[in-house]
Structure 1
Amino acid sequence: MSSPSVASSDLGEDDNSLFAFVDIDANAGMAQATLMDQDINSNEHARQRRELLDLIIRLQAIGLGTELALPQIACIGSQSVGKSSLIESISGVALPRASGTCTRCPIECRLKRSEQAWEATVYLRFENGKSGYVGKTTEIQFGSQMTERMEVQERIRRAQLAILNPTIEPLTFLNAEESRSYPSSRSFSQNCVIVALSGNELSDLNFVDLPGLIANVADDRNVGDIELVKELVTSYISRPSCLILLTISCENDFENQGAGRLAREYDPQGLRTIGVLTKPDRIERGSEQPWISMIKNETETLRLRHGWFSVKQPSARQLEGGMSWSEARELDEKYFQDTAPWSTIEEEWRKRLGCSNLISHLGETLGKVILSRLPHICDEVDRLIALNASQLESIPPPPSLDPLAEVLQLVNSFTRDITHHVQGDPRSGRPGLVQSLVISAKAFQEDLRKITPVFQPTNRGDDAEAPDTPNFLPPGERWPSRSEKGLTYWLDDIVELAEGARTRELPGEFPFAVTEELVTRTMELWRQPVKEVFGRAERIFVQRLTTLVETHFGQHAHGGLRAAIQKIVLEKLDECKTATAQELNFLLDMESFPFTLNSHYYLDYKEKFLKHYATFRNNRSALGRSLRARPPSNQPTERADPLEVALENLRRAGFERLSRGDLVKLLPADFSQQAALEIMAGARAYYQVAYKRFSDTIPLAIDHRYVRAFERAIQTTLVAGLKISASDAHDRCAKWMAESQSVVRKRAELTDRKERLEAARMELMEVPGVVAMRERLSRIDRAPRQARSRTTKLPTSPDVRSSVVVDETYSETEEVPRAVTPVTVEAVAALSVYEPEVIHEISYSSPREMMGLRPHAPVFSPSSTLTPGVTAVPATPRPAPRFGW
């Protein structure tokens, strides 16, 4: 069978699938008979539905109405469309009608069928927060019970004044003189007036009357009320669990009434909107057909899943004449029976006319929605309980009765954590304290190598390239071939320096002052790298300590303990910093004069550098280049290379491993240049010794004098600084451990919320069969989706955001597929790869069987037939057309 063509744009964006199970066909006014239809007026059925409504009331009283998205009916409409008259027809009590006393806050009506005499009670409900978690919801009884209907209107008027003036004691308005007027502190309020009614002529029903939408205001000062009322209405109808009772006046075209546009915006498919046409007597003669088409749900753009109803309320003159509620009901029924074209409408649409039929439909639909939502409400309560528990755990426990011991415990924990970090934590990786200090020390080594003096064993005018890095230096270390600090010395520079330093030395001797001068020039540049490495270590350590202070004492900032600890820590750090700076200066001063007893290391490097410099210099001479040149391989015997002959003779003499390059070292040098090469080699060798020594000493000094010194002394310093042993230590610690009012309030809110959520869980668990129903729904939801659905081909346009999955599990009487369900592209992709084990279709004769109850167990539910694709309790399936505005 072909399904109706539904574009993704027709589906809307809100999730209304919760209401798809309600079996009120848009094309048919008479729903197929369900268990509910058969016993709608029976005492057993009324009792079952009453139990569900009472459960919702108790959950609302607990303060979870918004968080749990509890099902409710919200009556909306533009001003002057007869909405108040509709509410009066349903409830049987009059609402305030005087100028300035129209509905300015939500009025929740709780109707209860009772065999007792009629009575009414008014409550005020204040919610102490914004949407979501609203804090402790308070319901205050406003005055005593009333047994006269005429008293209710004035009581509601006074209750509304109390809601609009929350800073004034409510009893002030209850006991005020009737003629006295109070200027309201606000135009509208989201807090609620509750009117609880009971009597034997009432039906079990709960709904909320919302302020009428405003199109214009007479005073520019109140222009903000237009948006204020719209936001208030939107806060209700935007919830997917809210049934929208849309009131439309037949006096004006539908397009001119803002409530219709708002309902269409938040329920674009029309799945949870119930339309009500008021003032049918105001339709001009001959213009009835469009309204009749709406009742029959024939108007394509106004078709609703629940269809349309029409009611006739008393006129203002009739109300002023004292028409009773029962007389108004009779007038309503008589109007549709006697007035054309309503009286000639087909029989199947008669159930869409009159207030009694509307009330029956509202009660039936609300009961179904509540029943279907119960498993989801249970899941949401469990989720909120877990979330609340995690939030409670994030708040520190209340202060103990022994604040002194608690402070000492915090100090000990803090110092142990410092010791742990100072000793090194292998699990912390590179961000660890010791690891970061080691990285900083290696950067210090690199900085020292950049300051190395560079000796060029050729004259400045020779234009020779820099010598290569000697291969005898440690691998992995980068040494400069050109000094960035101006420490490059040429051979003739050293000769000039050495000749200028000679005084009374014997021939062939040069003063030690030359080497000392070269060393001193270099060591003066070490101060900056030392300053930088200490600065990095200080930043690393201070940052780590700041984090630890916040971790251990951050939650006690209000009482001043964190500030006291931070002050002591910073003072101790400054003390350690001063001592460390003195130590580093001392080490720098020690290095200002060359000295070492590491003779082997020094002499070994001096010899290697001397050979390296001499070889490089000789390689640049003409004879040196000749010695290093390779002899021609085809040279005739009579013209033998003299150098090869010399090398052959030396081999015969026992010098078997000599090469042409070795002969370069035999080249003579003049006295001054030879001495200069020795000075170069000595200064460079000493730098290697001092560099190795200094690159270890400085990080060790920082670690010992700064990091470890702080760790060794901090516990004693904290105990002394906090004056733990003083006589007033207990009072001081109690003040430090005092909590901020925000933390106290937060803990109280979460504790109160925990109690309310647990109370809600107990209420839900007492509903017969709800646990079994949750288990069955969970198993059904895991059934293979590919066995019951197919995916339409997705358009290739990048703008497409959703596709459609059409349910193909038909009943025997179905001729077309069921209503389509919107899913996202991501959901379609998930369906294509979701292949769990096959679960056979599960069929239940009723929700009682589904919930594991006996056939006559006391629980309200319609009959149903479930397939693996059902996630709520449906009525008997029937062919469903497209719905939507």
Structure 2
Amino acid sequence: MKLFAVGAHAVVDIPSVVAIGNQSAGKSSVVEAISGIKVPRDSGTCTRSPFEIQLSSSTGPWTCRVSIRSEYGLDGKRKSEVKEEQFGDPITNPDDVEHRLRAAAAAVLQPWIEPLSFLDMPADQSKVPILLIYRSLIFLVADKPELVKLVENLVVDRIKGNSLILVTIPMTDDIDNQKALTLARQADPEGKRTICVLTKPDVVSKGSKSRGIWLDVLEGRAKPLLHGYYCTRQPDDDEREGGMTPEKAREAEMRYFSTTEPWLSSTQKHRFGIKNLVDMLSPLLEKAIREALPALSEQTTKLLLQCEADLARLPAEIPNPVEYASHVLLVLLKEDVNTYVEGGIGSEGLVQDNNAQFVEFKKALHATMPEFRPFLRINAHSNEFKNFLEDTRDEDDPVDHVKPAVEAVYLDDMKDKIFKSITRELVDNVPFRAKVKLIKQFQDDWPTIAERCATAVRDITMRYVLSCVEKRFGPWPAMHAQLRQWTLDLIQKHFASCQKAIEVILLKGERHPYTQGEPFMRSREAKWFARYKDARAKEASPRNPFDFSSTAPSPGTAPPTTAADAPISSTFTFGIKKSPQSDSVLAKANSTSAPQPTPPSAPQPPAQQMKPEAVQQALAMLEQAGFKGLTEEDLGKLRKPDEYETEMRVMAQRQRDNIPILIDTLLVRPVAEDLHAFLVERLAPSSADAQERFSRYLAEDPSAARQRQIISARQKTLEMVKKELIDFGV
């Protein structure tokens, strides 16, 4: 009884006896006969609400308590917490039960009225409003299929699990046309929990074949069931109006079966009468309870654990004061973001995703690399050239395999670019503007490439940081929305600073090419120069006498200046070959705005190509002489410079950039460093309205609050069930 009182049946499966049957099948009469109490009865459909009767034995006087259990709301949904309130004082007179039940039913059907007010309703008046309410409800929905479905769902819900199903079938009906029996078979296919009670045997006319058919059913020859069928005879209207007591009713019942055919001649006399039905139901129910108790305890424990898990998944309730709670959450948010920015264990995603963007940036930048070819364009098809240094190439680096996306530049192209830049320069000096112009030509796409990389990193950083904000503040929509917007503002602020820095480096810095890595640059320059000279030395014989392909200086020309001899006004230093006309050009420098182009020297026989065997032999001999670590590229430096030495030196320039470091330094890391202080400043916890704002920001989501309420109520019920089971010794 206590388990039902706390609503345990709503969360765990408690064995009980459920009486079901078609309309006017005699359910109330059977229940009344078993329980000994009077239930509301009228002509036609009477019972409009489900009644639950709990019986217990006692040595004291007979008493009855009527309670109203509220399990469902007006919307038809089960309440989160089941409440059972006693309806009036205990009853000591069985004749008063019917009136009390009518008043309780009226209170249930009119929840907007104070329930206890129905207790004062006179007995002779209690029927009228209740019948009006019942009939009004039936009148409104009787033709709607929802009513049938509602009743059917109620029955199905009650007969599932461990409940014993007591199906009442009037002998005036066809047994094959019983919806209640169909539902029982669906819920209990093996029939282990189903008992059928045949009612109204005295209504079946004498001499008809119906009595014989029902006798076959009772004795198991037709429609057999595991527990068989029982038959009861209840007082008719005249006997009930005459004030027949339950004891007299049982005597009249047994007298009927012992004097009326064919029941008198039946071999299954133990299946007649309420007493025999109760004698069978009691041990069957006791057995069901005994077998269910261990499983009930286990089920309760599992459900309690499930409640704890469900509550753990909900956001924690914010303790007071809310300002302190928000401060703790902001500190946790800061730690989360720092872990991502530093690439901590389990939080490598942001750094890895950013690195992937930096690789794409390097690839795009690498694709703008000048494609210099130390040959004339006319001879391009007959010469191959590897545009990389062996000691700087990494086969595993995807960047080194990116092919330049720009058009190749040949010697005659370079000659033309230099010539078009000459103005008032001295002889043997290539204009600095020629170098700048060439560099800028290959840097045109750099701002776009850098902007694309910075934007991608910003979006990645934004995604990870906002995920941290949602993780810590997602359960509180108001606070989450506000912090999310402020976080976006902070990220955009640092992104703008990063954009300006990139602009300074790429758009302004490229106007004045400069580097502090001069030793490294000169080392690279020397190696590229050696490679270009070696490639030129191996070039095939020219196809016409006007081809610019000689590898030795023309007679009468002075050797070009070296890097050391060139002016020091620029890091891009090299000289241009002095021609026989250089003196006249110099003489005209004061009167001419631009010098005349230097004619090419006469073609010379090509230099002999280097043989691999000879190269290895030369390297070995040099090593014996004390020159360690030389390569074939170093041998190229021994060749005499040709007339395109200047062009080759321009080809040797390479520029490095630090855009990825700049993006990480000015965008990613500052977001992590400034986030906590930035948000605290915006939240203004010291302001006068701080408590009111924080309470509004951290108000729990209504759906989460409702879910917490439901789970907590369920947990409370299960804890009471667990206590009752422990007290019972389970």
Q: TM-score, normalised by structure 1?
A: 0.65
1:766 aligns with 2:727: yes
Tell me what 1:274 maps to.
195
Tell me what 1:164 maps to.
109
- Measure how far apart 1:233 and its partner are: 0.7
Q: Deviations over 1:622-646 (max 9, x none)?
A: 599xxxxxxxxxxxxxxxxx98999
Q: Which amino acid in 2 is paired with 1:297?
A: G
Tell me what 2:495 maps to.
577
Does structure 2 conserve the Cα–Cα contact (< 8 Å) formed by 1:246 and 1:273?
yes
Q: Which amino acid in 2 is paired with 1:566?
A: R
Tell me what 1:232 maps to.
154
1:142 aligns with 2:87: yes
Separation in 2, partners of 1:595, 1:455:
21
Tell me what 1:498 maps to.
418
Separation in 2, partners of 1:282, 1:413:
79
1:257 aligns with 2:178: yes
Does structure 1 conserve the Cα–Cα contact (< 8 Å) formed by 2:538 and 2:608?
no
- Measure how far apart 1:71 and its partner are: 0.8
Does structure 1 conserve the Cα–Cα contact (< 8 Å) formed by 2:531 and 2:636?
no
Counterparts in 2 of 1:461 and 1:402: CA distance versus 1, 3 Å: same
Does structure 1 conserve the Cα–Cα contact (< 8 Å) formed by 2:72 and 2:78?
no
Separation in 1, partners of 2:290, 2:659:
76
Separation in 1, partners of 2:76, 2:646:
90
Separation in 2, partners of 1:605, 1:725:
60
Q: Which shifted more, 328-337 or 751-760?
A: 751-760
Q: Which amino acid in 2 is paired with 1:122?
A: V
1:151 aligns with 2:69: no
Q: Deviations over 1:235-272 (max 9, x none)?
A: 112x2211111122222322211111111112111111
Q: Which amino acid in 1 is paired with 2:364?
A: D
- Measure how far apart 1:452 and its partner are: 1.8
Does structure 1 conserve the Cα–Cα contact (< 8 Å) formed by 2:531 and 2:633?
no
Counterparts in 2 of 1:110 and 1:622: CA distance versus 1, 3 Å: same
Q: Which amino acid in 2 is paired with 1:344?
A: S
Q: Which shifted more, 490-499 or 736-745?
A: 736-745
Counterparts in 2 of 1:472 and 1:592: CA distance versus 1, 3 Å: farther
Aligned residue for 2:392, secondary structure, equals coil
Which one of 653, 657, 666 corresponds to residue 705 of structure 1?
666
Counterparts in 2 of 1:709 and 1:342: CA distance versus 1, 3 Å: same
Q: Which amino acid in 1 is paired with 2:363?
A: E
Does structure 1 conserve the Cα–Cα contact (< 8 Å) formed by 2:537 and 2:609?
no
Tell me what 1:75 maps to.
19
Tell me what 1:550 maps to.
470
Tell me what 1:804 maps to.
none
Q: Deviations over 1:749-772 (max 9, x none)?
A: 55544443333222211224x3xx
Any residues of structure 2 matched to 1:469-508 within 5 Å, and which?
469-470=387-388, 471-475=390-394, 476-477=396-397, 478-479=399-400, 482-484=403-405, 486-505=406-425
Does structure 2 conserve the Cα–Cα contact (< 8 Å) formed by 1:494 and 1:676?
yes
Q: Which amino acid in 2 is paired with 1:145?
A: P
- Measure how far apart 1:186 and its partner are: 9.7
Any residues of structure 2 matched to 1:404-443 within 5 Å, and which?
404-425=323-344, 427-428=345-346, 430-431=348-349, 433-443=350-360
Aligned residue for 1:483, secondary structure, equals coil
Which one of 205, 214, 218 corresponds to residue 295 of structure 1?
218
Separation in 2, partners of 1:503, 1:587:
29
Does structure 1 conserve the Cα–Cα contact (< 8 Å) formed by 2:165 and 2:194?
yes
Where structure 2 has 5 or more consecutive residues not aligned to the other structure, the ranges are: 544-606, 623-629
Any residues of structure 2 matched to 1:194-213 within 5 Å, and which?
none
Counterparts in 2 of 1:666 and 1:128: CA distance versus 1, 3 Å: same
Counterparts in 2 of 1:714 and 1:235: CA distance versus 1, 3 Å: same
Counterparts in 2 of 1:152 and 1:607: CA distance versus 1, 3 Å: same
Does structure 2 conserve the Cα–Cα contact (< 8 Å) formed by 1:165 and 1:186?
no
Q: Which amino acid in 1 is paired with 2:488?
A: L
- Measure how far apart 1:359 and its partner are: 1.2
Tell me what 2:129 maps to.
180
Q: TM-score, normalised by structure 2?
A: 0.78
Aligned residue for 2:357, secondary structure, equals helix
Does structure 2 conserve the Cα–Cα contact (< 8 Å) formed by 1:487 and 1:522?
no
Tell me what 2:561 maps to.
none
Separation in 1, partners of 2:135, 2:449:
69
Q: Which amino acid in 2 is paired with 1:495?
A: K
Counterparts in 2 of 1:231 and 1:650: CA distance versus 1, 3 Å: closer
Does structure 2 conserve the Cα–Cα contact (< 8 Å) formed by 1:523 and 1:592?
no
Separation in 1, partners of 2:699, 2:615:
94
- Measure how far apart 1:319 and its partner are: 3.6
Tell me what 1:449 maps to.
366
- Measure how far apart 1:90 and its partner are: 1.9
- Measure how far apart 1:357 and its partner are: 0.6
Tell me what 1:248 maps to.
169
Separation in 1, partners of 2:172, 2:129:
36
- Measure how far apart 1:358 and its partner are: 0.6
Counterparts in 2 of 1:666 and 1:111: CA distance versus 1, 3 Å: closer
Separation in 1, partners of 2:611, 2:266:
134
Q: Deviations over 1:757-808 (max 9, x none)?
A: 333222211224x3xxxxxxxxxxxxxxxxxxxxxxxxxxxxxxxxxxxxxx
Separation in 2, partners of 1:489, 1:746:
71
Tell me what 2:53 maps to.
109
Does structure 2 conserve the Cα–Cα contact (< 8 Å) formed by 1:248 and 1:254?
yes
Where structure 1 has 5 or more consecutive residues not aligned to the other structure, the ranges are: 1-56, 189-216, 625-641, 771-885
Counterparts in 2 of 1:602 and 1:297: CA distance versus 1, 3 Å: same
Which one of 532, 540, 549 corresponds to residue 621 of structure 1?
540
- Measure how far apart 1:375 and its partner are: 1.1
Q: Which amino acid in 1 is paired with 2:328?
A: Q
Tell me what 1:378 maps to.
297
Does structure 1 conserve the Cα–Cα contact (< 8 Å) formed by 2:20 and 2:166?
yes
Q: Which amino acid in 2 is paired with 1:293?
A: D
Tell me what 1:786 maps to.
none
- Measure how far apart 1:746 and its partner are: 4.9
| Identical-pair percentage | 28
- Measure how far apart 1:117 and its partner are: 4.1
Q: Which amino acid in 1 is paired with 2:35?
A: S
User: Which one has a bigger Cα radius of gyration?
Assistant: 2
Does structure 1 conserve the Cα–Cα contact (< 8 Å) formed by 2:466 and 2:487?
no
Separation in 2, partners of 1:659, 1:418:
50
Separation in 1, partners of 2:471, 2:631:
70
Which one of 453, 457, 461 corresponds to residue 541 of structure 1?
461
Does structure 1 conserve the Cα–Cα contact (< 8 Å) formed by 2:107 and 2:118?
yes
Tell me what 2:589 maps to.
none
Does structure 1 conserve the Cα–Cα contact (< 8 Å) formed by 2:533 and 2:641?
no
Counterparts in 2 of 1:653 and 1:111: CA distance versus 1, 3 Å: closer
Counterparts in 2 of 1:272 and 1:603: CA distance versus 1, 3 Å: same
Tell me what 2:599 maps to.
none
Give the superposed CA RMSD: 3.9
Tell me what 1:304 maps to.
225
Separation in 2, partners of 1:436, 1:744:
37
Q: Which amino acid in 2 is paired with 1:761?
A: K
Separation in 1, partners of 2:357, 2:327:
34
Q: How many aligned positions are there?
A: 647
Q: Deviations over 1:97-139 (max 9, x none)?
A: 3367622332111233444444433221111579998522111
Which one of 253, 256, 259 corresponds to residue 335 of structure 1?
256
Q: Which amino acid in 2 is paired with 1:598?
A: G
Aligned residue for 1:419, secondary structure, equals helix
